[in-house]
A = this chain, B = another copy of it.
Amino acid sequence: MRTYDLALIGFGGVSRALAELISSDAERLTRQLGFSLRVVAITDLAFGSLVQPDGIDLAAVLAMPRGADFSALPGGSADPRNHDVIQDCPADIVVEATFTNPVDGQPAASHVRWALESGKHVTTTNKGPVALHARALTALAEERGLSFEFEGAVLSGTPILRFAQQMLPGLTTTSVEGILNGTSNYVLGRREAGATLEAAIREAQELGYAEADPTADIEGSDVRLKVAILAQQVLGVDVSLASIDTQGISGISDADIREASEQGLRWKLIGSATRTDDGGVTAAVRPVALGEEHPLAGIAGATNAVTFTTNLLGQVTVSGPGAGRVETAYALLSDIIAIDAATRTSERAAAAELVDLVGVTL
């Protein structure tokens, strides 16, 4: 049985959910996946760092109270020591789950780079390094024969990027558009039901959808990062954040809502990227009043969805959760499964090359 050793960089909600899954459901996971997982390093701004090459007791660290740090444990320190831990710990896979920095993607982008440079695969749900540095980091991973996976950077565990890569073979995708932020979709639904913007945001906060500062959700900058990722990963074209015309939902008036409703339309905050005739892409984030025949019109509550427009199949849509601790931890797990599959494939390919080389006929 193969075991992958993990380093968890950032020990917040998502990493903790992954650690809970690994420690509480280990037997089922191992049986289902054909490999087992062990955490050998954790770093965190609050807890410091912990490196234990024989495997960390996850139940024990999960039970540590807020305010504690790792300094009293063997291999522990109150200092995160991110660079040294990422570079020197004996992990096979680095799980990058620090905060999203939408300006330059740091320090997460450096975490990813250090991991790849020291021969470790990477999975992350962090939009920053993916939206801003995916091409360079993917090239670095390929150069080193490693995987850089980030399914959770767009729709948490709902498999949007892998769907585009693997489920639409032989098709040409001409545009991708989606409801990419659960908070703003929830707020728009409450606005249709008569709530004011302020009341709807407050409700979203009470339900745990919205941050204390909801600006990134409401004004579209969270969606803009995701549109940049979709444009590159689905359409293969880099777009700068500045080139994405971005408008949030705070400008939608009561009259706008009423008029749309009278015409059977529903306001949705749509992030989109569309291929242009010259090989480029037009990308935008803006509220659109959709007719009920549009595949995104019926996406309700905090659900997210992405619609792919293709040549032979027309429009295909995937919808599901776009946030949540466990749902996002599942994105990391699905990336680890993909890393395992890629590892096995490249081992078989190496064997096939060897057989070719010695000229054996099968």
Contact = CB atoms under 8 A, between A and B. Distances in A.
Interface residues of A, number: 54
A276 interface: no
A315 interface: yes
Contact of A300 (B32, B293, B321): B293
Contact of A292 (B159, B300, B316): B300
28 contacts: A21-B312, A33-B170, A157-B312, A157-B313, A158-B313, A163-B163, A169-B337, A170-B333, A170-B337, A293-B300, A295-B303, A298-B299, A312-B329, A313-B320, A313-B327, A314-B321, A315-B320, A316-B321, A317-B318, A317-B320, A318-B318, A347-B352, A348-B351, A350-B362, A351-B351, A351-B354, A354-B360, A355-B355
Contact of A316 (B158, B171, B314, B355): B158
How often does this chain occur in the complex, in copies? Answer: 2
Contacts of A300: 292-293, 297-298
A329 to B, nearest CB: 8
A3 to B, nearest CB: 16
Interface string A325-362: 01101100110010000000101111110111000101
Do most interface residues of chain A lie in helix, strand or loop, or is the interface mixed? Answer: mixed
A92 to B, nearest CB: 17
B352 A348 contact: yes
Interface string A166-190: 1111110000000000000000000
A313 to B, nearest CB: 5
A301 interface: yes
Given A293-B301, A321-B313, A167 B159 contact: yes
A217 B321 CA distance: 32
Nearest to A157: B313
B352 A170 contact: no
Contact of A320 (B297, B314, B324): B314
A163 B170 contact: no
